[in-house]
Amino acid sequence: MTSLLTTWFPNVMSRLPEFFSSMVQTLVMVGVSGVISFLFALVIGVGLIISRRDGIRHNGLVFTILDKLIDLFRSIPFIILAAALVPVTRMLMGTAIGPKGAIFPLVVGITPFFSRQIESALAGLDPGYVEAAESMGMTTWQIIWHVYLREGIPSIIRVTTITIVSLVGETATVGIVGGGGLGDFAIRLGYQRSMNDVTFATIIVLVIFIALIELFGRLLAEVVEH
């Protein structure tokens, strides 16, 4: 098996520790930026839902500000956004390269998309649940917690899975600006040095990684829903 892999992926096998290190860096970037962006997106998504025209706490100003900010950041291609954020990233993180330097642009890049996904998930909730909660005299925070968040868990899991898949793609893209991970590994060796086996190996690993994320997300959503 080892000889076969050496034949097919000679440049990868000769740099196996670096390849495994790049995989770990990708996992770290996805995990850390995913958790941080999830928390921000949850707050923003809930804010959009309750402040919209038919929301339980309608506030046109809050809704407009959040809505337009999301549209603004989503309209900027991620690679351009990551490059533009380099000075801010260096100031906040102390570096703009490697996994540590990739966290901030990843959070900024994925949170608007994640927020819109959370908003969509919560908007699909049966309005009857909210009406029943209001008739029972629940406070705004109780409705958010017991109705929107608890009843929306299956939908939130589904959109989170979609977002994490997109985040994996962004971790590969951030490698162009020295963000580390599999993207950086593929660009430095596969593209710049024309080592095609490195590119193919990276693609295979990313495809498997995404397939596992989608499988886990789908199974978890089904379990929670039942």
Report d(CA 47, CA 59) in Å as an integer. 10
Report d(CA 93, CA 120) in Å as an integer. 32
> Among 44, 217, 55, which residue's Cα sits nearest to residue 123?
55
Longest CA pairwise span in the chain (Å): 69
Sole residue written with tokens 């533009």:
84
Per residue in 200-218, pLDDT tens?
Answer: 999 999 999 999 999 999 9
Q: Give the pair of three-digit tokens for residue 45.
A: 């998504």
Note the pLDDT of residue 111. 96
All structural domains of the chain with their residue ranges: 34-225
Q: State the DSSP code for 176.
A: G
Say whether pLDDT at 143 is over 80: yes
Q: State the DSSP code for 96.
A: S
Q: Which residues contact 93 (CB under 8 A, 6 or more apart)?
A: 100, 101, 103, 104
**Quick one: pLDDT band at residue 1, thresholds 50, 70, 90?**
low
Contact 9, 197 (CB under 8 A): yes
Q: The domain 34-225 belongs to what CATH superfamily? A: MetI-like (1.10.3720.10)
Note the pLDDT of residue 163. 95
Sign of CA dihedral 54, 59, 60, 66: negative
Contact 56, 46 (CB under 8 A): no
Output the average pLDDT for the chain. 90
Report d(CA 196, CA 218) in Å as an integer. 33
Per residue in 19-65, pLDDT tens?
Answer: 999 999 999 999 999 999 999 999 999 999 999 988 888 898 999 99
Note the pLDDT of residue 226. 62
**Quick one: pLDDT band at residue 8, thresholds 50, 70, 90?**
confident
